[in-house]
Structure 1
Amino acid sequence: MRDLLLRADRALLGTTMTADAWVRVAGGRIVATGAGDAGAEPDASVALLVPGFVDLHCHGGAGAAFDDEGADWDAALALHAAHGTTAQALSLVSAPIGALVPRVRAAAVRAAADDRVLGIHLEGPFLAASHRGAHDPAALTAPTAEAVEALLEAGDGRLLQVTMAPELPASYDHEDPIVNLEAAGFTDLLGEFQGEDAYTYVFDGMLGYLDYGLADADLVSSVVGAAAWHANTDEPGLIDYTMEFKQDAQDALWAPDAYRASDHDAVVIGLDLAEDDAECGHPVFGDDRPVHGGDHPGRGFCDGDGPGRGHGHSHGDWPRAW
């Protein structure tokens, strides 16, 4: 891959639209940017230069679905590339495990051979029937150890993300599917950074978590922190998200604040994908800043012992996360 010097009337460099800009590419990566004189004649000039789209949820295109045997994947990828997508996941819809496994295997072969394909996105079959959308209810199943193991094997390290309903059986921390994912090399980031006291739900005096961020060995080195955003579990019962059995005076306390975001806490993950080692601290919250309220500090963002030392990844060696 040859080195290039590109010039643009306008280019989006970082978060700034820059006039008379230039971008230097070496070895397939951007190595320098600037404005004005680049010190050499450009190899190409354009009116506008912006980063390409990265599509993490795409089921196909140009009349082809990635689920279909014999579909023209080249046409689908070319269509999205023509409109600015430079890298994407191959999304597969819910199907019985026996039918899904060969589809995952075919997608993994394509992902290994095509630099435009980041990996595989499974939008099911681990969905709740009550929130399945357009998915075939007959194709849905619980994330059993056997199902997870079969998909991991078929994916051959190319599973990028999986949609999994937390309310399904066997979705809890330490149950077989999560244990199998950890055995396959994934790290449970909430457990890693927050320990056994982590929780994203509280119910009838019990607490735990059903909400995850899992990363493989490539990605975990770039994780600088993970924490639960306690926007639901720590709210008083008086003002919780459900209005059932409440008196009018209690209903009047409703407000459109963070407590209405979900009936679970979100997992917030900090990533540093810079080329150089990450500085201590979370890139969003800052060093040691509480995630929600003074009683719930964002432990792990700046303790010096975690895996939060960022490293870059070359295209074709993308990290995988569930």
Structure 2
Amino acid sequence: MSTLTAQSPQAQPAAAERPETLELLARAQGRFPILQLGITLAAFAIGALTLDGFASGGSIKSLLILASLVGLAGPGQTLAILIGGVDMSVANFLVVGAVFVTQFTQLYGISFTTGVLLLIPFTAALGGFVGWVCHRFKVEPLVVTLAMGTFALGLMQIQTEGMIAGGAPDRLMALTSLWATTFGLPFPPVIAIWAVITIALAVFIHRTAVGRRMLAAGATGPSAGLSLIKVRRMWVVVFALSALFAGLAGVVLAAFSGTVNTSIGGPYLFQGLAAVIIGGTGFGGPGDYSRTVIAALMLTVITTVLIGHGLATSDQQILYGAVILVAMALYGRGRKHSDRV
């Protein structure tokens, strides 16, 4: 006679609770990058325990300045990925922004404010044209943005007779100076600028009709047009904003580095893109810029701690690549956002 072994009544709820707990954790991670925030705090704690002065006020301000440079290179990338594209022109538009407020101000005898006012329509027009071309002719944004970035940099070199080598004035360098204040508060203006942009983008993406249409256009693709969403207009707006943000970030980058050259924006293209992907913003959604902000802080803290322990530049590149692979493996296992809309 066979004997049936019944599962203990106490074991059944415990087994049922495990999947529910994991599912709740996955849902929470989907709403907010808890894992990235935890890694950031853990890395900071390790730095505070193993590196002298790491947790001092000056060191924290330095970390925030470095993170802001990565973060300010990421808004356009975040918007482009949310709509289902990618912007590879960021590095060159960073150079464009830096040139406008350094070399152009001296070359044409214009003020800093005038240089910024000219930069805004210039970058927005070139970026908007990229969005129109990509959607109208179904061309991969990666190709078009690379071409437009090269085109924009070429226009700068024509104006400067092939020589891009400007210097930032002292007033501009105060934006990122460790000892600068913001309306009397003890932190540099770049941190305040980053905070304002973070809040503004959160409101734009989640609280405006244009932002919600942009998310829908990225999530549902061609079917968004059936809902009377002007998808092409969304692509134009997103890539115009991406170029504009990159140009303005170039102004801040010029303030930080003090000098301008054609390679000044190179590192921030990859770091900004890494922050977007590691933060959990997927191609076509879900995600938002707050995730990019946390990932920028995470990368900055981890990199600073490792540099303090002797990490080389080549090791940093390996770290970025490995973290991106892990992030893509984790987030790539989830259902596509278009399947959940």
* TM-score exceeds 0.5: no
Task: Please indicate the TM-score interval, normalised by the length of the shorter structure.
Answer: under 0.3
Greater RCO (Cα-Cα under 8 Å, separation 6 or more): 2
Higher normalized strand content (fraction of residues):
1
TM-score (norm 1): 0.23
Higher normalized helix content (fraction of residues):
2
